[in-house]
Amino acid sequence: DTAVSQTPKYLVTQMGNDKSIKCEQNLGHDTMYWYKQDSKKFLKIMFSYNNKELIINETVPNRFSPKSPDKAHLNLHINSLELGDSAVYFCASSQDGSNNEQFFGPGTRLTVL
Amino acid sequence: SQKIEQNSEALNIQEGKTATLTCNYTNYSPAYLQWYRQDPGRGPVFLLLIRENEKEKRKERLKVTFDTTLKQSLFHITASQPADSATYLCALSGYSTLTFGKGTMLLVSP
């Protein structure tokens, strides 16, 4: 059983489009995250949710909107996609907060043309 | 501003040797420090966590040290194997977040 899953694995789209990435964890964790890893491999936190509530919202354009319908899911919706949004997006989860190990999904490679 | 530095150049070593990776940080007082491994095309995988009041942590062939005075962590892989080739990321925990370094690529040749 996959612990943290993301769909789709690859996403190629045109500038200006709106797209969503889905994430699910079956570990029973309370906290979920979205990270962005750019072309230089720098992994940066975007959002953190604890029990469906937003905890961390780093400096991210408001075109990015996370949604957590329940504790096991954290989806990422992106409006008006720009070239600079091209990156690999990772979902992760942890039992409770950042002091515990985080379990990462396989990543979604987003390419904006 | 907070800064985490890991060797940007790849570390090349021969199989059987000990690999030592460095993580330095500034303007930070983390309570915990974690190390992750990332293979190409995959998400990071947790390896070890060390607390600020711990000097050293071991797990099988892995050893991590944490020196809060030097603001440095060292990550050692003993008896390295080609399968250990990957990028290794250190991450510092703060309030509700983990901040990652850029990682160091380790290449172990047979």
The span from the CA of A21 to the CA of A4, in Å, is: 13
Please, are residues B91 and B101 in contact by the beta-carbon 8 Å criterion? Answer: yes
Contacts of B89 in chain A (CB under 8 A): 43
Burial-class residue B101 by CB neighbours within 10 Å (0-12, 13-18, 19+).
Answer: buried
Burial-class residue B21 by CB neighbours within 10 Å (0-12, 13-18, 19+).
Answer: buried
Q: Measured between CB atoms, which of B31, B89, B99 is closest to A99? A: B31
Please name which of B43, B98, B44 lies closest in space to residue A107, comparing C-alpha atoms.
B43
* Residues of A engaging B, defined by a Cβ cutoff of 8 Å: 4, 40-45, 48, 50, 55-56, 58, 90, 92, 97-107
Give Cβ neighbours of residue A9 (< 8 Å, ≥ 6 apart).
Answer: A106, A107, A108, A109
The span from the CA of B21 to the CA of B37, in Å, is: 12
Nearest CA in chain A to B104: A41
Buried b (16+ CB within 10 A) or exposed e, B69-78: eebbbbbbbe
The per-residue pLDDT of chain A, averaged, comes to 92
Mean pLDDT, residues B59-65 taken together:
97
Quote the tokens at residue A96.
Answer: 């409770």
Asked whether residue B97 carries a pLDDT value surpassing 80, the answer given is: no
Residue A1 pLDDT:
67
Contacts of A48 in chain B (CB under 8 A): 96-97
Please name which of B97, B85, B33 lies closest in space to residue A56, comparing C-alpha atoms.
B97
Asked whether residue B30 carries a pLDDT value surpassing 90, the answer given is: no
Residue A56 pLDDT:
72
What pLDDT, in 10s, does the model give residues A26-78? 999 999 999 999 988 889 999 988 887 887 777 789 999 999 999 999 999 99
Residue carrying structure tokens 């996609």 = A81
The span from the CA of B20 to the CA of B63, in Å, is: 9
Q: Measured between CB atoms, which of B43, B98, B100 is closest to A107? A: B43
- Percentage of residues of chain A with pLDDT beyond 90: 73
Residue carrying structure tokens 């996370």 = A66
Give the model's confidence band at B96: pLDDT under 50 very low, under 70 low, under 90 confident, else very high: low
Shortest alpha-carbon distance between residue B18 and chain A (Å) = 25
The span from the CA of A76 to the CA of A30, in Å, is: 17
Pick the more confident residue, B29 or A79.
Answer: A79
Shortest alpha-carbon distance between residue B109 and chain A (Å) = 23
The span from the CA of A41 to the CA of A53, in Å, is: 28
